[in-house]
Chain A
Amino acid sequence: MALVEIRDVHKKFGRVDVLKGVSLDVEEGEIVTIIGRSGSGKSTLLRCINALESVDAGEIRVEGQKVYAGMPDLKKFRQHVGIVFQAFNLFPHLKVERNITLAPLLTGRIDKAKARALALDVLTRVGLADKIDAWPEQLSGGQQQRVAIARCLAMAPHLMLFDEVTSALDPELVGEVLKVMEAMAKQGMTMILVTHEMGFARNVADRIVFMHQGRVWEQGPPAKLFANPETSELASFIASAK
């Protein structure tokens, strides 16, 4: 059984068909990168996996459990699925440590005595142990995004979703975030990423999924997909992304 099973998912916003029958499996430990033009439905798909949006038809299962906005144990489910956003979404009124420990403490995952050690541990993994007492606003965009990743890691997720996490960053800050994600990939984390970073997709992903007009247009290992795209849409997308 795949960790994530997406079966014929449809989603409309008003009259616009965003997802028109998407099916996709993601195995445990797999790194899947979703690419495609803006409006192709890739971010929406990601948000559906985390039940931030509910699907109109079809179904999504994560670890065998059906996912939808009103599902029982939604909170428990989300504790196991981390999502990192384009805009970081750190909490401005909490220091880095509290940003990280808030959810583990409130959900009873850890007790107070272990909180700081946990924050220090995940911050070390993203290379920011020295920023544990900083306010988010005192950090650069790249550092904020790495704290956001650490915040997810503190929940010990089974699956991580990344929604264009480097798009809002200055070019010189992209590298440090990608490096952290690469390290996570090497440690065997299951990851689904939406990204415009073709180099990263090529080097780190096990599989590339090309979405077009609300469908999975083409998928496969990066080497094959980038070298020999089967469809003209993917070929022109690769050409334009270079």
Chain B
Amino acid sequence: MNFLPLWRYQNQLIDGAIVTLELTVIAALFGLLIGIAGAVALKGRIKSLRWLVRGYIELFRNTPSLIQIFIVFFVLPTFGLKLPAFEAASVALSLYFGAYSVEIIRSGLDSIPNSQVEAGHCLGLSGWQVFRHIVLPPALRNAYPAVTSQFVLLLLGTSLASQVAADELFHVAGFIESRTYRSFEVYAVICVVYFAMAMSFKALFALVGAAAFRWPRRR
């Protein structure tokens, strides 16, 4: 076991970690947008749209993320849409995260009892005011744990983008391995880096959650 040969690759590691973070944040943002739109569609009146969203959710939740990345990267070009690796991985991971987000957001909104909505209307508030001030804050709190743990899974899941040679952390690992032949050491270090990132996010989310949701829980 010898970790010393890896030392000179620290810049590559840092660059890889940054790309991993970029990929995670991009997929999380677009995924959440998809999630919000999907949750709205599921609550909406258009039946065909509801079915479309249901189909999307099932399709993306019941097939491996790796295959989804392959399809975006290898199959879309046959339709004339050739995306670079990073962009392809972003699209695939956004769609994957979105499929989970729809359900999380929907159940967050559903967790607010109708009596709260009624109480808001009875005070003369408009539909939007009721949503913004009465439904949304507690719904966010209820969805928060699921969203954040899904975010961490997404962070770890971006490692799959290495398989289409996106320049994220895991792909950097392959590059260093090919230069140093220190396979075990490289992947041990990579695991530690992912672990550190995941724990940092968990700690950050805990702090943000504690600051944002201060009202006492229902007894």
Interface residues of A (CB under 8 A from B): 50, 52, 75-79, 81-83, 85, 87, 89-95, 102-103, 106-107, 135, 137-138, 151-152, 155
**A78 contacts B123, C-beta separation under 8 Å:** yes
Interface residues of B (CB under 8 A from A): 115-116, 118-126, 129, 133-134, 137-138, 141, 213, 215-219
Partner of A93, one of B122, B124, B141: B141
Q: Which residues in A have their C-beta under 8 angstroms from that of B118? A: 52, 85, 89
**A-B contact list, 10 entries, CB within 8 Å:** A52-B118, A52-B122, A75-B124, A79-B124, A91-B134, A93-B137, A93-B141, A93-B213, A103-B125, A137-B219
**B124 contacts A50, C-beta separation under 8 Å:** no
Instruction: Tell me how far the C-beta of A144 lies from the nearest C-beta in chain B, rounded to whole angstroms.
Output: 12
Contacts A75-B126, A106-B125 known; 19 new A-B pairs at CB < 8 A: A50-B122, A52-B122, A78-B121, A78-B122, A78-B123, A79-B124, A85-B118, A91-B119, A91-B134, A93-B141, A94-B215, A102-B133, A135-B215, A137-B215, A137-B217, A137-B219, A138-B216, A151-B123, A155-B123
Q: Which residues in B have their C-beta under 8 angstroms from that of A50? A: 122
Which are the 10 A-B pairs with shortest beta-carbon distances?
A79-B124, A103-B123, A89-B119, A137-B216, A78-B124, A93-B137, A75-B124, A93-B215, A83-B122, A89-B115
Whole-angstrom CA separation of A90 from B120 in the bound complex: 10
Q: Which residues in B have their C-beta under 8 angstroms from that of A91? A: 116, 119-120, 133-134
Q: A85-B115, A106-B133 are in contact. Are A92 and B125 (CB under 8 A)?
A: no
Instruction: Tell me how far the C-beta of A2 lies from the nearest C-beta in chain B, rounded to whole angstroms.
Output: 22
Whole-angstrom CA separation of A107 from B124 in the bound complex: 7
Partner of A92, one of B120, B133, B218: B218
**B124 contacts A76, C-beta separation under 8 Å:** yes
Q: Which residues in A have their C-beta under 8 angstroms from that of B115? A: 85, 87, 89
Partner of A75, one of B125, B213, B216, B217: B125
Partner of B123, one of A52, A79, A92, A138: A79
